[in-house]
Chain A
Amino acid sequence: MSATTQTGAAVDISRLSKIYKTREDDDVLALDKIDLRIEPGSFVAVVGPSGCGKSTLLSLLAGLTPASTGSISIDGDGVSRPHPKTGVVFQSDLLLYWRTVLDNILLPIEIKKLDAAKYRQRAEELLAQVGLEGFGNKYPSELSGGMRQRVAICRALIQEPGLLLMDEPFGALDALTREQMIMDLQSMWLRLGNTVLFITHGIDEAVFLADRVLVMSPRPGRVDLDLKIDLPRPRQWSKTHEDKDYHGYVRQIRAIFEAKGILVAH
């Protein structure tokens, strides 16, 4: 019952496939025999166009969708339902508008029937860490889009998850807010040390944030490139974006998309 470990969880994926049955006979192969090991405490980004299976991968890892074949394990436990060590951040904040910020953050605690009073202080600390000190009693409608997504991240972190799954978490934010969120996410991750799987279609943010970028392409969903990102941390916005290696990584990923016809070279 003690708090889950601060350190990250290890993820093992083997021969993982997902087939979506359609009403006609043409079933969609969303993921095709994925093999993957994610080291504890690493930050892994998955980049790919819409329909490449990256969101399916996240949904399977979150235990929301059953795999067709193959297996996933988190710290050695097979995943067939949502794993208690996992926290998820979705593209939209999905805050419950009838609950205060604090009660939104404590929702996972309530659902797991843990003592909410014990986690109240941790929720306040998390809020302070994302620059929302004193916002606990506000309602989501009183917050901006960026603030709401910060609250959603706090909600995912309240139980100190070993594995944080993020499904295009900054996709709905404006460019300036996004930049700030990327920086904040990095510092939070450096502090917490949990494993992060970050789904995005932004090549820049994937390379900027991750230790390792998986490039996926659709039909069938496969990992085309497994790229280790070797840039010093903590990464600074301007400095890293001017780094020669950074651009090298971005170019490598773009090359894949161009070869696949997902991006047309011009």
Chain B
Amino acid sequence: MASTDVIGAGQAQKKQGNNMSSKKKSRGPWLERYSALILAVVLLGAWQILVPLSGLSEFVLPTPLAIATRIVNELPLLATHGYVTLFEVVVGFAMGVLVGIPLALSIFYSRAFERAIYPILVALQTVPKVALAPLLVLYLGYGWAPKITLAFLISFFPIVISTVVGLQSLDKNLVNLVRSMGAGEWQTFFKVRLPAALPNIFGGFKVAVSLAVIGAVIGEYVAAERGLGYLQLQANSQFDTTLNFATVVAISGLGVMLYFIIDTIESRVTYKRDSAK
């Protein structure tokens, strides 16, 4: 669900960028424009109808309407736990940015640093971060610290890699161009290198923030007293499948929301290269 929403939004944005062709495109078949939405409605409708027909108990598979009703009714509860998870994700992701970007810059500007750190980074990346969760609980306790750490560890790698790749893929002639105008490295960075790398960097942010949600929730599964992951385990132990599903929707909603916040910031600070095509 989340991914189809995201693709739909991207297309809508591209159309906005170009008034001339959007006029043409908007007259196109409406079936094509809303195909993702229609498919989602059809699938949810089928789910709604087939569950009672199949005779499955509500404890096994609740209907979409039952889940939606439950979400509305439990909104305060979901919000209370949602805030905790949101806090962990945001702090972990912010730490990923604060550590990842300077590290990426060091890798980009220093050959020696790149040689020293890259193999270690790649080796660390092969360690499944999720497997560190029990250890983090052991060291950092039951509070938000291990969740934030996990969210940080899991989100930091894509930020580093996408930033390095973004900086390295710059057309060398652009550097010559601004140098010919008298720019030093400082100006070259801010006028050309950084703006040219922004689409890559934001791509990394989007991947990272989705992963940070996973990190925080896994942390909560292992040991927690609050948060959406904790709430879900509670629902599970009480055979409250509807609340269980409601939590899944809340976790997804959290990820989608953060994704769109980053996407919005991106469209404010960057210009999409292909928007006129």
* List of B residues within 8 angstroms of A146 by Cβ: none
* List of B residues within 8 angstroms of A94 by Cβ: 171, 173-174, 177
Q: How far is the CA of A96 from the CA of B196 in the complex (A)?
A: 8
Residue of A nearest to B184 (CB): A111
A64-B274 in contact given A92-B173, A94-B173, A111-B187 (Cβ < 8 Å): no
B276 within 8 A of A: yes
Whether B182 contacts A84 by the Cβ 8 Å rule is yes
Expressed in whole angstroms, the minimum distance between the Cβ of A203 and any Cβ of chain B is: 25
Q: How far is the CA of A111 from the CA of B187 in the complex (A)?
A: 7
B13 within 8 A of A: no
* List of A residues within 8 angstroms of B178 by Cβ: 107, 111
* List of A residues within 8 angstroms of B273 by Cβ: 97-98, 141
Whether A82 contacts B177 by the Cβ 8 Å rule is no
Q: How far is the CA of A111 from the CA of B192 in the complex (A)?
A: 11
Expressed in whole angstroms, the minimum distance between the Cβ of A201 and any Cβ of chain B is: 18
* A98-124 with Cβ < 8 A to chain B: 98-99, 107-108, 110-112
Contact residues of A: prevailing secondary structure: loop
Interface centre among A98, A99, A107, by most chain B C-beta atoms within 10 angstroms, is: A98
* B172-207 with Cβ < 8 A to chain A: 173-174, 176-183, 187, 191-192, 195-196, 198
Whether B181 contacts A108 by the Cβ 8 Å rule is yes
A96-B181 in contact given A64-B176, A111-B187, A142-B276 (Cβ < 8 Å): no
B270 within 8 A of A: yes
Whether B195 contacts A96 by the Cβ 8 Å rule is yes
Expressed in whole angstroms, the minimum distance between the Cβ of B193 and any Cβ of chain A is: 11
Expressed in whole angstroms, the minimum distance between the Cβ of B191 and any Cβ of chain A is: 7
Whether A82 contacts B180 by the Cβ 8 Å rule is yes
Q: How far is the CA of A108 from the CA of B195 in the complex (A)?
A: 16
* List of B residues within 8 angstroms of A110 by Cβ: 191
Residue of A nearest to B271 (CB): A98
A63 within 8 A of B: yes
Q: How far is the CA of A88 from the CA of B191 in the complex (A)?
A: 17
Q: How large is the interface on A (under 10, 10 to 19, 20 to 34, 35 or more residues)?
A: 20 to 34
* List of A residues within 8 angstroms of B270 by Cβ: 98
* List of A residues within 8 angstroms of B176 by Cβ: 59, 62, 64, 90
A139 within 8 A of B: yes
Expressed in whole angstroms, the minimum distance between the Cβ of B181 and any Cβ of chain A is: 4
Expressed in whole angstroms, the minimum distance between the Cβ of B179 and any Cβ of chain A is: 6
A71 within 8 A of B: no
A86-B276 in contact given A98-B270, A98-B271, A139-B271 (Cβ < 8 Å): no
* A57-109 with Cβ < 8 A to chain B: 59, 62-64, 81-82, 84, 86, 88, 90, 92, 94, 96-99, 107-108
Q: How far is the CA of A5 from the CA of B11 in the complex (A)?
A: 50
A97-B191 in contact given A88-B177, A90-B177 (Cβ < 8 Å): no
Whether A112 contacts B192 by the Cβ 8 Å rule is no
A96-B179 in contact given A90-B173, A141-B274, A141-B277 (Cβ < 8 Å): no
Contacts A97-B273, A111-B183 supplied; 9 other A-B pairs, CB < 8 Å: A64-B179, A94-B177, A96-B174, A96-B195, A98-B198, A98-B271, A111-B191, A112-B181, A141-B273
Query: What are some 11 contacts across the A-B interface (CB < 8 A)?
Result: A62-B180, A81-B182, A90-B177, A94-B173, A94-B174, A96-B191, A98-B270, A98-B271, A111-B181, A141-B274, A141-B275
